[in-house]
A and B are shown apart, each in its own frame.
Chain A
Amino acid sequence: MTTSGGALVKAAPWNDPNARPYVQVDRITKSFGEFKAVDDVSLKIYKGEIFCLLGASGCGKTTLLRMLGGFETPSSGKIFIDGEDMTGVPPYERPVNMMFQSYALFPHMNVEQNVAFGLKQDGVAKSEIQDRVATMLGLVKLGDFAKRKPHQLSGGQRQRVALARSLVKRPKLLLLDEPLGALDKKLREHTQFELISLQDKLGVTFVVVTHDQEEAMTLASRIGVMNQGEIVQAGTPSEIYEFPSSKFVADFVGSVNMFEGKLIEDEPEYVRIGSDELGATIYVSHGISAPPEATVWAAVRPEKIFMSTAAPEGTDNVVRGAVQDIAYLGDLSIYLVKLPTGKVVRVTQPNTSRHAEAITWDQQVYLSWDATSPVVVTR
């Protein structure tokens, strides 16, 4: 799986055991009293990646980011950036910059002074500061706003100043804390693509914290899904979506129908799962590694379920139910179908034609899916 929505890291170094990681997080734990905000996390991030830490609020993603930035000290474990141990290095000595969620633009300085601030701290020559600031402002299309104060800018402009300020020092690593969180939806989509092209142009490695899975999908070369201080799965967006490793990930990323069942046939090429919840057997065309008779869950995405009024062939992966609710979203519709077992299945159908054969409330329908569609997870 090397397809990716966001940053294109051509060689997929994470599949190469000999590749040298650019950022290495080695068994990091951060405790606040009894509470472990980050719990024994190890992570390898490669040069040129956009790595997204995705999770609900309080899952530890921001704490992990702040440890990369040097704002929190790990309780145990080490952090290496470009081969150097950064664990105890204060923020002002790290080759790392951060874009803050609130942007943290200095209110008493104009755009130019804000962007120049970091270079001044490094004692860069005045003429060079001017050049680099001007180039950077050009890159984020704020050349005309150099003399404005932050309060005279729009939200999107402030976001770009913050980005320029954190990039102008050419950090080895840029940390972004909910970079698009404060923007409205339209602007956010536009900015996502701008961010990717800027990252591509400058070749800086990004670590992004977000709670918005769509944002993570769009930006990331890889996503690390976090829950309760742990990284529960790391992989490309399509790996995360198509091959979630646990119920939590399947449920957290996108929406999913989860059917609990028992393995009744366990072959290397296929498995068959009997599910009381579904009231049918599920046939999956690949083997899994689980003890026989084990309780497993089959996850089927709503868009991978076919809905028809005529009975499809076969008995595996087919159930009958009544349409309970329909939500029309324009590009697609969501159907909630109630099975005889009481389980409600979510199905999405694209509205491809304007006058499609309309399925309505209380209608009896057949649901079916391909043998490749279900993902079987054991926890």
Chain B
Amino acid sequence: MNYKSSYFILTCLGFGFAFLYIPILSMVVFSFNASKLVTVWDAAHSPTLKWYYSLLNNEEILDAAWISLKVAVINASGSVILGTLAGFGLARFSQFRGRFTLNAMTTAPLVMPEVITGLSLLLLFVALEQLIGWPAGRGITTMTIGHMTFSMAYVTVIVNSRLATFDTALEEAAMDLGARPLKVFFVITLPIIFPAILSGWLLAFTLSWDDLVISSFTSGPGSSTLPMVVFSKVRLGVSPEINVLATITITVVTLMIVGVSLWMSRMAKLDKAAV
């Protein structure tokens, strides 16, 4: 196989990646800008870390970040459990009643516009509260439920597609050697698909951490998440602190993604070699 690409393709790649990365880099650069005008570079006083200090002393943002973190962690963990169960069921049980429905219910949230999901969840919570008194008001619990509903769909897809390439002979071999089905799952299946589950967790965390629309519908007073605070600030115009927040986010995400994908390409090599 030859890996030669034409100049046309290379140019497209160049422009494409420039398009993807210039906005991100501009936020990083201007996060060190001293001027309050954000996009006008104040060469005399820059670079500076003053907006970093100011962000770290911004109670509103820190409180919102703390709420976002709580929601994201609970959401990711719950989604991984539900999504793994659903993905396992869809991949392994060729026929069961409701298979079609489950499949549809786990695909639809991937493409469903968030305004619809958000609105419908809110109306459900309101109706439930009228009917059985739970959930009393809205806040972290209702937001987490909302996030889990669409995050688990992503986890399901990841786990399902990982299991599609899983050699079922591995499970049969374990069973043949005397392990019962439940033990086979925990000793063989789970360790082997662990990278997929981990990426599912990270994805669910990120989806929740970034979500604005569903949070806005399902949150209550005093439970504003970080995106909600950012959104209300951004509506009023650009703010240097948001650049700082973006820079921190980008750094953390980059480190995490690079680390995880290095680790995973190592795992994938093990996996490929063993099949």
Contacts and interface: CB of A to CB of B under 8 A. Distances in A.
Partners in one complex: yes
Contacts of A92: 175-180
A94 B274 CA distance: 26
Contacts of A96: 176
A98 interface: yes
B67 interface: no
Interface string A195-215: 000000000000000000000
Contact of B177 (A90, A149, A169): A169
Nearest to A121: B178
B176 A108 contact: no
A333 interface: no
Contact of B270 (A69, A151, A169): A151
A104 B170 contact: yes
B169 interface: yes
Given A108-B191, A108-B270, A165-B177, A102 B172 contact: no
B180 A98 contact: no
B166 to A, nearest CB: 11
B104 interface: no
B129 interface: no
A122 interface: yes
Contacts of A91: 172, 175-176
Name the interface size band of chain A: 20 to 34
B96 to A, nearest CB: 17
A114 to B, nearest CB: 9
A87 interface: no
B192 interface: yes
Contacts of A100: 169, 172-173
B174 interface: yes
A121 B167 contact: no
B167 A102 contact: yes
B176 A69 contact: yes
A193 interface: no
A101 interface: yes
Contacts of A106: 170, 173-174, 188, 192, 274
B40 interface: no
Contacts of A292: none
A169 B169 contact: no
Nearest to A102: B169
Nearest to B272: A151
Nearest to B184: A92
A102 B275 contact: yes
Contacts of B188: 106
B203 to A, nearest CB: 23
Contacts, number: 80
A143 interface: no
Given A108-B191, A118-B178, A151 B269 contact: yes
Contacts of A98: 172-173, 176
A61 to B, nearest CB: 16
A149 B270 contact: yes
Interface in A55-114: 69-71, 90-94, 96-98, 100-102, 104-108
Contacts of A107: 170, 192, 270-271, 273-275
B179 A104 contact: no
B173 A122 contact: no
Contact of B178 (A108, A122, A150, A151): A122
B243 to A, nearest CB: 43
Contacts of A102: 167, 169, 275
Contacts of B174: 106, 117
A325 to B, nearest CB: 38
Contacts of A94: 176
- Most chain A beta carbons < 10 A, residue from B170, B173, B270: B173
Contacts of B175: 71, 90-92
A91 B179 CA distance: 9
Contacts of A150: 273-274
A106 B170 CA distance: 7
B92 to A, nearest CB: 14
Interface in B233-275: 269-275
A118 B177 contact: yes
A108 B187 CA distance: 10
B177 A97 contact: yes
A69 B178 CA distance: 12
B174 to A, nearest CB: 7
A105 B271 CA distance: 11
A152 B169 CA distance: 20
B69 to A, nearest CB: 31
Contacts of A169: 177-178
B239 to A, nearest CB: 48
A151 B273 CA distance: 5
Interface string B173-212: 1111111100100001001100000000000000000000
26 contacts: A69-B176, A70-B176, A71-B176, A91-B172, A92-B175, A92-B176, A92-B177, A92-B180, A93-B178, A97-B176, A97-B177, A98-B173, A101-B169, A104-B173, A106-B170, A106-B192, A106-B274, A107-B192, A117-B177, A118-B176, A118-B178, A121-B179, A165-B177, A166-B176, A166-B177, A169-B177
Q: Which 9 A-B pairs have the closest CB atoms?
A: A151-B273, A107-B274, A121-B178, A118-B177, A104-B173, A104-B169, A100-B169, A150-B274, A91-B175
